Amino acid sequence: MTFPALPAPLEAALAERGYAAATPVQAEVLRPEAAGRDLLVSAQTGSGKTVAFGLAMAAELLEGGERIAPGGSPRALVIAPTRELALQVSRELDWLYGRTGARIATCVGGMNPSAERRALQQGPAIVVGTPGRLRDHLERGALDLSQLAVAVLDEADEMLDMGFREELEAILDATPPGRRTLLFSATMPRPIEALARRYQDDALRIATIAEGRGHGDIAYQAVTVPPTEIEHAVVNLLRFHEAETAILFCATRDNVRHLHAILQERGFAVVALSGEHSQGERNQALQALRDRRARVCVATDVAARGIDLPSLSLVIHVEIPRDAETLQHRSGRTGRAGRKGVAVLIVPFARRRRVESMLRHARIEAEWQEVPDRDAILERDRERLLSRLLAPVEADEADRELAARLLAERPAEEIAAMLVRTHRARLPEPEELTAVTREPGKEHHRPGFDDTVWFRLDVGRADNADPRWILPLLCRRGHVTRGEIGAIRIGQHETFVQIPRAIADRFAAAAARTGEAEGEEAALAIARSDTGPREVARSNRQRRPSRSNADAGFVKAKPVGQGAGRKPPRPASSSGAPGGKPHRSRKPGSGRPQGHRHRPS
């Protein structure tokens, strides 16, 4: 729908910005029954909320005229959870009310408080700020709310999640009883309902989020991985999607710092946002993303709130959100203002049920997929390169002269190959995923693995066995490549490996030969198994592993930032040095590794 009749300065501002029709939330707040009332609005991030409440409070600010006289106490107050969102809101209101002569003061942490106090003394009509800084100005007497006509709480659920309840209550308690309260929130948990009951009177409830799904413009995906493959999954997801801008969510600033370093090392243009960064550093990081000098942002939940990046099309939840509301807030950074976006959850095997429950609670349907492998990424690269090179371009005379010279020096086919090679050289290499990236219990038949033989290694979790140590050992001992090794199942005291039957004899002979040559036969035997990984399942049931190790035999990795993705310690050698053979010392005559309990037959 088009906008209803508005004051002339606002109509002109909207027309100049290209606003031809109101978004659903803007249309709802401008309905006749919403005029003059408190509003409780649930709307997704990026739906035009700022313009919506800017238009909704026009009657209180303009009072029938077209200009706002300077001086006096603020008439409107907007509270936002973060500095970035407050600054964004201030910019939006500045162009919307630019023709009315309204002064706007912004009060946020990290800025000069003396300059903010001077701005407040000049009589702004609108004040925008964060809860902590606004309360500080209020208690110091710099902020006078006695004439306030309308108070707006933007992303109220996030402010409560961040622990700003006390600050919000102190600010709202200082406002006059007759003021309007407009409360905007992406979700409506119980604390928001309680806040609305306390500070609103006969509020009109407006909901513009579809009931069937958390966000209609976001395609949700989930990939299951062993904990040790999380960083590799991040790299391959970034390379597969090649988003113009992507944001990766971690739980702590340490994890942000670690993942940021990992991606930098692999050649990504990446910035970081967390609580340890100053406001200047945050501004520089965001500007790098807007200027396309960086394409990836690694951030904590708090640091990323309020970020508005129009080109953001990919969100990766590197660490699982703590609840459905956090999932929606994170994912809502993309799919804004009618643009499409993708949100991917990286789910360790043992956490799948929890994530499925969270998705149901959020009424989100996610497509469960495998992590893109190298072949899938290279195929996508070919498609993108062809699309880019075949697109029409405008070439000037200098370009044509250079092209003619190249064609005179080299055949066209060779020039095209050089162009492809140059393009690929700029792209980070995809990661090689181990053969255990599929969820336990869900077999996946790769070409050449329809007929296989299981081999048993007498080493397991009790010996600190890990896929990243076992895989290269199998290649070295069996004279095979990674691609010739199928599934790996790690039990408490044994590991089972899948080898194609066509090369099984060669693998067995090489494993025996290398074991004898290196003196490893007694410490680590590799032999055919008739039963296969069923023994792993029985061993796991008998040992009843803890939940942390319940992901069907995979060693639990440390979180990102604490060693995830790094090469885990290998089983100690008999000399005590890491990186050698598993330590399998035996008591005289016992025939069993020391420290191992007797296993039922």
SS (H, E, C) 564-578: CCCCCCCCCCCCCCC
Residue 165 has pLDDT above 70, yes or no: yes
Once rounded to an integer, what is the mean pLDDT over residues 48-77? Answer: 88
pLDDT at 442: 56
CB of 308 closer than 8 Å to CB of 287: no
Distance of CA 54 to the CA centre of its chain: 30
Split at pLDDT 50, 70, 90, the class of 71 is confident
- Give the mean pLDDT of the chain: 81
Identical fold, 8-207 and 218-373: yes
In tens, the pLDDT along 82-127 reads 888 898 899 999 999 999 999 999 999 878 899 999 999 999 999 9
Q: Is the pLDDT of residue 303 over 50?
A: yes
**Secondary structure element (H or E) that encloses residue 235, with its range:** helix 230-241
Residue 156 is classified by DSSP as H
Quick one: how many helices (H) and strands (E) in the chain? 22, 18
For the chain, give the longest Cα–Cα distance: 100
* Residues 457 and 525: beta-carbon distance below 8 Å: yes
Backbone angles phi, psi at 341, to 5 degrees: -145, 165
Contact 449, 464 (CB under 8 A): no
Which of 238-252, 380-394, 538-552 is most confident?
238-252
What residues have CB less than 8 Å from 154, skipping those under 6 apart?
49, 50, 53, 78, 79, 80, 81, 85, 89, 184
Categorize the per-residue pLDDT at 595 as very low, low, confident or very high, splitting at 50, 70 and 90.
very low
- Parse the chain into domains and list their residue ranges: 8-207, 218-373, 376-425, 448-553+571-601
Range in 72-81, 115-124, 524-533 with the lowest mean pLDDT: 524-533
Of 346, 43, 329, nearest in space to 162 by CA: 329
Exposed/middle/buried for residue 538 (C-beta within 10 Å: 0-12, 13-18, 19+): middle
Q: What pLDDT score was predicted for residue 438?
A: 52
Which pLDDT does position 484 carry in this prediction? Answer: 83
| Higher per-residue pLDDT: 515 or 489 | 489
Model pLDDT, residue 445: 54
C-beta of residue 348 within 8 angstroms of C-beta of residue 226: yes
Angle at 305 between CA 288 and CA 279, to 5 degrees: 50
Give 215's pLDDT tier (boundaries 50, 70, 90). low
Evaluate if residue 224 carries a pLDDT over 80.
yes
Name the pLDDT band for 320 (thresholds 50, 70, 90).
Answer: very high
Span 359-416, pLDDT tens digits: 998 889 999 999 999 889 999 998 888 888 787 877 788 888 888 888 888 888 888 8
Predicted pLDDT of residue 583: 44
327-352 per-position pLDDT tens digit: 888 888 887 766 789 999 999 888 89
Locate the DSSP E strands across 88-149. 104-107, 126-129
**What residues does 129 pair with on adjacent strands?**
79, 107
SS3 404: helix
In angstroms, the CA 398 to CA 142 distance is 62
Q: Lowest-pLDDT range, 32-41, 216-225, 233-242, 439-448?
A: 439-448
CA–CA distances in Å: residue 495 to residues 177, 370, 461, 489: 70, 23, 9, 6
Rounded CA gap, 153 and 57, in Å? 13
What SS3 class is residue 522?
Answer: coil
| Tokens encoding 2 | 């088009």
pLDDT value, residue 359: 92
Average pLDDT of the segment spanning 55-73: 85
Question: What is the reported pLDDT for 530?
Answer: 83
CATH superfamily, with its number, for domain 8-207 = P-loop containing nucleotide triphosphate hydrolases (3.40.50.300)
Rounded Cα distance, 169 and 135, in Å: 10
Burial of 17 (0-12, 13-18, 19+ CB in 10 A): exposed
Pairing of strands 104-107, 341-348: unpaired
Long-range pairs for 32-37: beta carbons < 8 A, 24 or more residues apart: 33/204, 34/204, 34/206, 35/59, 36/180, 37/180, 37/202, 37/203, 37/204
The fraction of the chain above a pLDDT of 70, given in percent, is 82
User: 218-373: which CATH number, 3.40.50.300, 1.25.40.10, 3.40.50.10470, 3.65.10.10?
Assistant: 3.40.50.300
pLDDT at 342: 94
